[in-house]
Amino acid sequence: MSLRTFVVPLLLGVLTLAVMPSASLAAECPALLQGELPKLRAKERIDLCSQFAGKPLVVVNTASFCGFTPQFKGLEALYQRYKGQGLQVLGVPSDDFKQESGDAEETATVCFVNYGVTFSMSETQIVTGAQAIPLFKELAAQSQAPRWNFAKYVVDRQGKVVASFSSRTQPDDPELIAAVEKAIASAP
């Protein structure tokens, strides 16, 4: 038996095993969480599936220069209150309503310095219309597209939207809190 007839099948087997977990993970990932977003003020990317799959999640389209921008404070408080129970929050800045800076550093300053945000924030994205990123296309398919900045989507552990809320709904609103608690209680 030659070395080649032994090594080649062995290497193929190892490569197959190395690829299979990734393929099965992608197959198990809900449609809502398939994809990546560039992280705000970082070189890393947010892998939606690996970071949020199986976890309750609140997704918010944000803007730095909107009357609702102070909701960052309430969103951070919501995150701090429930992160021990697995809650994740994802802020997605958008200029769809012409109230976001074109400068990522300025956006980061508003979020991280002015409001002390510690939850995940992406770089500015399109969240409405035909050019919306896949995450927001799926959110719209499961509920509705954002009509303004700071629309909030509560997602359960299976990647399904359990409730959506308008910009006017504050992060400490009892209905939003109830939806978050329902998402936390959902089975993975």
The answer to whether 66 is a known catalytic residue is yes
The DSSP result for the chain, as a single string, is --HHHHHHHHHHHHHHHHHHHHHHHHHHS-GGG-SEEEBTTSS-EEEHHHHHTTS-EEEEEE-TTSTTTTHHHHHHHHHHHHGGGT-EEEEEE--TTS-S-S-HHHHHIIIIIIS---SEEBPP---SSTT--HHHHHHHHHS---SSTT-EEEE-TTS-EEEEE-TTS-TT-HHHHHHHHHHHHS--
- As a whole number of Å, the end-to-end CA separation of the chain is 49
Catalytic residue, chosen from 29, 49, 66, 111, is 66
CA atoms within 13 A on the CB side of 71: 25
> Which residues are marked as active site?
66
